[in-house]
Chains A and B, each alone.
Chain A
Amino acid sequence: MIKICQDAFDPWHEVDSYQRSAVAMAGKYGATGVFVGTMRDFNEGDDVDSMILEHYPGMTEKYLEKIVADAMRRWQVLDTLVLHRVGAIESNQPIVLVAVWSARRGDAFDACRAIMEALKTKAPFWKKEYLADGRARWVESNSDGYI
């Protein structure tokens, strides 16, 4: 399942609730890989108060679907849950959740990481940071999580 969230979410509640509702995979999974990305209160040496996350409605969902489908072709994955915030976000709030259920840990770890890295480079989201000193700036690029 893929969800774009306007409001704050609790990733641990979302994983628990989704796992309980996905009765078809009960007893089939032995591994759950979970990544949660949370907004820091610093970036590039500056204190950051909040941010606005903009997205391209339609294209964002399309690319998240593609990214998940690619991972499901590459690894033995039973199900996935991807949530991403948009709109106004405060520091310490979760931005993104990627959860992957698989029979074995290797597939769960690898697929979770691959989905997250592909999301960072392909899914059309953009962050504008509001700094403690009153300035605002667009984040210019994402770093490579494999380096």
Chain B
Amino acid sequence: MSIKVRYFASLKEIVGRSEEELDGQNALTVSEIWQKVNAGKPLPDNVLAAVNMDYVEFDHSVKDGDEVAFFPPVTGG
């Protein structure tokens, strides 16, 4: 099992990839996941996070098998 990390829109261009897998991690928060896969780089301003396609706060705990997504404010409609 692993955690899937996804990026969308301008954030995908900033980090230079659309998704990646993080193996065998448990009990990490969303912000710890960001730090782990982005070499300690600070989160850009206004980034939103979702776990399993629901908006979450950055202290939300992530479980093995979860999908974590980071993206900028939404601009549809």
Binds B, one of A10-18, A19-27, A73-81, A135-143: A135-143
Interface residues of B in 54-77 (CB under 8 A from A): 54-55, 69, 71-77
Interface of A is mostly: mixed
* Chain B residues whose C-beta falls within 8 Å of the C-beta of A53 in the assembled complex: 76
Cβ-neighbour of B72 out of A84, A96, A119, A126 (below 8 A): A126
Decide if A37 touches B72 in the complex (CB within 8 Å). no
A142 touches B72 (CB 8 A): no
Using a Cβ cutoff of 8 Å, how many contacts connect chains A and B?
72
A54 contacts B8, CB within 8 Å? yes
Contacts of A96 in B (CB 8 A): 76-77
Chain B interface (Cβ < 8 Å from any Cβ of A): 6, 8-10, 46, 50, 53-55, 69, 71-77
Those 9 A-B pairs whose CB atoms lie nearest each other, nearest first:
A125-B76, A126-B9, A59-B53, A138-B10, A139-B75, A120-B77, A127-B75, A141-B73, A96-B77
16 contacts across the A-B interface (CB closer than 8 A): A54-B8, A58-B53, A62-B54, A95-B76, A96-B77, A120-B77, A121-B74, A122-B55, A124-B50, A124-B71, A126-B71, A139-B75, A140-B75, A141-B73, A142-B73, A142-B75
